[in-house]
Structure 1
Amino acid sequence: MSYRCEQLQEEKVFKDPVHRYIHVRYRVIWDLIGTKEFQRLRRIKQLGTSYLTFHGAEHSRFNHSLGVYELVRRITENFTGRKEWSEDQRLLALTASLLHDLGHGPFSHSFEKVFDLDHEQFTQAIILGDTEVHHVLKKVSDTFPEQVAAVINKTHEDQLVVSLISSQIDADRMDYLLRDAYFTGVSYGQFDLERLLRVMRPKKDQVVIKQTGMHAVEDYILSRYQMHWQVYFHPVSRSAEVLLSRILHRVKELYQAGYQFRQTPDHFLSFFKGDVSLEDYIRLDETIVMYYFQQWKEETDYILHDLCDRFVNRKLFKFVSHHTDFEAKDWQTLYQAFEAVGLDPTYYLVEDSTSDLPYDFYRPGESNERVPIYLLTPEDELVELSRLSTIVDAISGKTRSDHKLFYPRDEIEKLTPSKEKDAIVTLLKLNQR
């Protein structure tokens, strides 16, 4: 199929702190950026609650989406003239890269967990539904919205295009590592982007890397590993996520119990009922959520008031490392002690676990199989990365996990001496061993 690839009379550019300039030549890309669904991404932070840890992390999904588009533009520019690549593939890849995060909700993954949502499903719904985005895509061809949605769903027959946006070395990951490192002020996410772009090559089912670029790939994978543990899984950010999720759980619980809110959560009602329309989803962003948090600080329910005040004014829970050998009887004693001092353990004693697998290769029969990164040898053969890289081989298939227990230390410290306070302090120290 041949798409209608109308170009602008004059190239448009966005000034960008990471890539210097983002270039737009296609009419469809320019029109998509102007839709209300894409502009909504300005009101969704890229790093969720991390701005409470790294004060510079105020960048948005809008920034990131433009960045991913720009990287795909630069990668595919290098593919021009190769037999494995066409202009139609390029337009499809550019469009899907721009829209890949369109369905993210406020505070992204934390919000999804509470209401059992999937941002990729909403991304596809926006692309295929009665939206401004859909109407722009239809101008390219009648089936173009379905083609873009299939790429984002990873079911498109052209897996080469899919791999540009979703693989173990894709434009999405490359942009968020560099962008997140820039805005958090850390150096962990830095890698040799220019070298990587120069050594990427199109093959039938995925992008591969020239063998001469192996060390740039190693650098990228180690950067990703370090960013996860120093930024994405930072315990202070996780503490803020715990508060966020507990607030939403509390509001849902109060609503279902018939509590009379001073500020009725109108924007959340369909989420509580599990009947979320596309319109409901699109109109909810982080400015709306923060408005409600400010209002709920004034509610008579103490737990909701306290949790919202903590989140808005950054009075976060403290944490101890949690070890799996903490016995069931100790848990029971700890829960009972919290209840005895008036702290509901459902909201004030929260266990949180996280893990990361920095790189893996194909393991038939195992869950969550990953397409590996392939190196292209001078003999035009494909070799899986860890077979040639001792650095990558050392971390391949190895999952690192971290478990923490979050609680309001300030409330514990204010308690008058008692056996319950002693039990809490003792057990929390025991847990930390």
Structure 2
Amino acid sequence: MSYRCEQLTEEKVFKDPVHRYIHVRYKVIWDLIGTKEFQRLRRIKQLGTSYLTFHGAEHSRFNHSLGVYELVRRITENFTGRDAWSEDQRLLALAASLLHDLGHGPFSHSFEKVFDLDHENYTKAIILGDTEVNAILRKVADTFPEEVAAVINKSHEDQLVVSLISSQIDADRMDYLLRDAYFTGVSYGQFDLERLLRVMRPKKEQVVIKQTGMHAVEDYILSRYQMHWQVYFHPVSRSAEVILSRILHRVKELYQSGYHFKQTPDHFLSFFKGDVTLTDYVQLDETIVMFYFQQWMEETDFILSDLCDRFVNRRLFKFVSHHIDFDAKDWQMLYGAFESVGLDPTYYLVEDSTSDLPYDFYRPGESNERVPIYLLTPDDELIELSRLSTIVDAISGKTRSDHKLFYPRDMIERLPDSEAKNQIISLLKMTGRTGKNII
């Protein structure tokens, strides 16, 4: 099938702090940017709660989506004229890259966990549903929405196009590393983007890298590793995420118990009931969530009021890095000690674990198997990256994990001296890898 690819009479450009300019030549791309579903991404932060740790991290999913589109535009421009690439593939890749994050909810992953949602399912629903996005995609071809959705959920038969936005070295990761590093003010996410773009080549199943670009790939992988541990998994941001999730759990619990709200959570009701419509989902963004949080600071329920005040005014939980072998008896004692002083451990003693696998080679049959990065030799042979890179080989298949216990130090400090308070302090020290800064 040949797509209808109408060009704009004049190229449109966006100024961008990371890529300098973002260029739009296809009318369908310009029209998609103007839809209400895409404009909603302006009201969804790219890094969720990280703005409470890195004050510059106020950038949005809208910024990032344009950035991914621009990288795919530049990559595919280099592919033009090569045997393995066509203009239809290019338009498909551009549309999919632009829309790949369309279904993200407010505060993204934290919100998804509480309500058991999947943003990729909502991305697909927006693209295929009765939306402005769908109507514009159908102007290209009747099947174009289905094609774009298939690329985003990685089921499309053209895995080369899929690999541009979903692989171990794709435009999505390249943009968010550079963009997040820029807005958080750190240097960890920097890598040689220009070199990577020059050495990417299209093969039938995926994008590969010329062997001469191996060091640029090493730089990229190490940058990703550092960003995860210095930015994405920062314990202060995780503390904010813990409080955010506890707020939503508390509101749901109060609603189900018949609690009378001063500010009824109207925008959340369908989420509590499990009958969320596409309209409900698209209408909810972070401006609305923050409105409710500020209103709920005045609720008579102490836990909800306190948690909302903590999130809005950045009075976050403290933490200890704990041993995963802290046994059940110790946990039971710690929970009991919290309850004995009037602190509900469901909301004020929260365990959070996170892990990252910086790079993995193909392990057929294993869960979450990953397609490796291949290097293209001068003899046109493909060799998996870790076979040639000693740096990548050293970290391949190695998962790093971190376990933390979050709690309100300020509340414990205000407790009157008692056996229960001393027990809490003692158990927190025992739980942590260090006894420092418990209170």
TM-score (normalizing by structure 2): 0.98
Alignment of 1:256-405 (within 5 A): 256-405=256-405
- Return the offset for 1:365: 2.2
Amino acid at match of 1:20: R
Equivalent-residue separation in structure 2 for 1:418 and 1:264 (angstroms):
39
Q: CA deviation at 1:90?
A: 0.2
Match of 1:12 in 2: 12
Q: 1:77 and 1:343 mapped to 2: Cα distance?
A: 59
* Counterpart for residue 24 of structure 1: 24
Measure how far apart 1:10 and its partner are.
0.2
Give the equivalent residue in structure 1 for 2:61.
61
Three-state SS of the structure 2 residue aligned to 1:361 is coil
- List aligned pairs for 1:101-112, cutoff 5 A: 101-112=101-112
Are residue 100 (structure 1) and residue 97 (structure 2) matched?
no
1-side partners of 2:324 and 2:29: how far apart?
50
The amino acid of 1:69's aligned partner reads: Y
- How many percent of aligned residue pairs carry the same amino acid? 89
Matched residue count: 433
1:346-401 deviations in whole A, cap 9, x for unaligned? 00000000000000001122111000000000000000000000000000000000
Report the residue type matching 2:221 in the other structure.
Answer: I
1:155 offset after TM fit, Å?
0.4
SS at match of 2:13: strand
Matched, 1:77 2:81: no
2:177 aligned partner, one-letter code: L
**Deviation string, structure 1 residues 157-202 (Cα, Å, up to 9, x no partner):** 1000000000000000000000000000000000000000000000
| 2:222 pairs with 1:222 | yes
CA distance in 2, matches of 1:143, 1:327: 55
2 CA distance for matches of 1:281 and 1:426?
45
Question: Partner of 2:437 in structure 1?
Answer: none
2:238 is matched with which residue? 238
- SS of 2:79's partner is coil
Asked if residue 414 in structure 1 is aligned to residue 420 in structure 2, the reply is no
Whether 1:89 and 2:92 are equivalent positions in the alignment is no
Alignment of 1:26-45 (within 5 A): 26-45=26-45
Deviation of 1:111 after TM superposition, in Å, equals: 0.2
RMSD between aligned residues: 0.4
1:263 & 1:363 partners in 2: Cα distance? 51
What is the deviation of 1:328?
A: 1.4
Any idea what SS the aligned residue of 2:130 has? Answer: coil
Deviation at 1:327, TM superposition (A): 1.8
Query: 1:34-84: CA deviations, max 9, x gaps?
Result: 000000000000000000000000000000000000000000000010000
Aligned equivalents of 2:290 and 2:270: distance in 1?
18
User: 1:287-324 CA deviation, whole Å, 9 max, x = no partner?
Assistant: 00000000000000000000000000000000000111
Q: Mapping of 1:125-140 within 5 angstroms? A: 125-140=125-140
Distance 2:164 2:272 in 1: 36
Query: How far is 1:325 from its partner?
Result: 1.9
Distance 1:46 1:324 in 2: 31
Other-structure match for 2:436: none
SS of alignment partner, residue 25 of structure 1: strand
Large movers: runs of 4+ above 4 Å: none
